[in-house]
Amino acid sequence: MIDSKNFNGLSGVFTDDAVANYGPPLGILYGLPAIIASLDYNLENFTTQHSLTTQTIDILANGTADTVTYVNAIHFGVNGTIYGGEYARAWARYEDQMRVGDDGVWRIIRG
């Protein structure tokens, strides 16, 4: 969803009340509307590519799960912006807590 800039599609990834900790400069975001607004604003001048690898999923007895995903992300500055021609690479470890909804879909509640 992020790489295609389909931020409204993140409703299929996060619960409405999700808390996402992206660290600096985005910080901790509370609720799906804040997550969408922050990513939309902060990635406006970038094209991104996220490669997800080596994922572990620990399904717990209460309809929740703990997951760990390793990420290699590249952010390319869009030409015509102050970031044009620049790029930044980041490596991350997403540690998420998920919950299965009434619709049977697992979504991130805390990450």
Domains of the chain (ranges, CATH numbers): 7-110 (3.10.450.50)
56-95 pLDDT tens trace:
999 998 999 999 999 999 999 999 999 999 999 999 999 9
List Cβ<8 Å contacts ≥24 apart for 64-67: 64/97, 64/98, 64/99, 64/100, 64/109, 65/97, 65/98, 65/99, 65/100, 65/106, 66/95, 66/96, 66/97, 66/98, 67/94, 67/95, 67/96, 67/97, 67/98
54 pLDDT more than 90? no
**Residue 33 pLDDT grade (very low, low, confident, very high; cuts 50, 70, 90):** very high
Query: pTM of this prediction?
Result: 0.91
